[in-house]
Amino acid sequence: MGGCTDPEQYRVLRGHGTERPGTSPLMQEKRDGTFSCAGCGHPLFSSETKYESCTGWPSFFAPLEGAVATTEDRSHFMTRIEVHCAQCGGHLGHVFPDGPQPTGMRFCMNGVSLTFTPRDRD
């Protein structure tokens, strides 16, 4: 379970910040597993929904059922849909309607807001 002990994690998760594009090691994560909230450990995304969006942030076309919540974000002189952890409310990123099928959605997440747990191979 994460706790936001890193200043950058805290800035993004609790202060609604954004990490610099291309800085997350999770961009290169290709193993099967689960991406969870770095603030509370709540499972958010399956690796099966991760894809390369060429935006500079880890992207997914769908969250796990009930894992995230959204709110309208009117900061930075634009309207976007903010994605946050349904359990602790930590800021994860934003969702846009320009993703791949089957959902057509792009959940563009801050890697610092996530942790990754590889799936056990039996």
Check if 108 is active-site. yes
Q: Catalytic residue among 4, 37, 85, 108, which?
A: 108
CA–CA separation, 24 vs 41, rounded Å? 18
Tell me whether residue 67 is exposed, middle or buried, using C-beta atoms within 10 angstroms of its C-beta: 0 to 12, 13 to 18, 19 or more. buried
Distances (CA, A) of 23 to 26, 48, 55, 72, 104: 9, 22, 11, 26, 25
Q: Which residues are catalytic?
A: 108
